[in-house]
Amino acid sequence: MAMRVLVCRLSDVVDDELRAFPVRGVTWPVIVTRIDGKLVAVPGVCPHEDVALADGDLHGTVITCPGHSYEFDLRTGKCTHDPTLSLRRYPVTVVADEVWVDLL
Ligand code: FES
């Protein structure tokens, strides 16, 4: 069963910018941004090691982790350095101005 949580408001999301939103009861914040006009939500932690991805850089559709500079494409979640790693993309539902994310 999905765990749907309210993460932020549409007005909080900035195109092509990494913004991480804390979620009560969840260790790491959720990053929500808009890529190519579509909302994208991913964990705020790198799947390689526990490093905050919101502190990384976003160029186009690619996040570069500040830990070891691995890159993740937000369109797919795939890591360009290590095919065994991927960044989970959470399903997003917008209700009025609210951005809800299915964490599980
Ligand atoms: S912690 Fe992100 S690449 Fe190593």
Supply the pTM of this predicted model: 0.94
- Residue 77 confidence (pLDDT) above 90: yes
Determine whether the shortest distance from the Cβ of 41 to ligand 1 is under 6 A: no
Q: Tell me which residue has tokens 């932690």.
A: 45
Count up the domains in the chain and report the number: 1
* CA of 73 relative to ligand 1 center, distance in Å: 14
Tell me the CATH number at 11.
2.102.10.10
pLDDT tens for residues 19-28?
999 999 999 9
Closest ligand 1 atom to Cα of 65: 2
Q: What is the pLDDT of residue 1?
A: 67
Mark 66-77 as b/e (b = at least 16 C-beta within 10 Å): ebeebebbbeeb
Q: Is 48 in the pocket of ligand 1 (CB under 6 A)?
A: yes
Q: Using a 6 Å cutoff on CB, does residue 58 contact ligand 1?
A: no
Give me the domain span that covers residue 26. Answer: 4-102
Kindly report, residue by residue over 3-36, the tens digit of the pLDDT.
Answer: 999 999 999 999 888 999 999 999 999 999 999 8
- pLDDT band for position 63 (cuts 50, 70, 90): very high
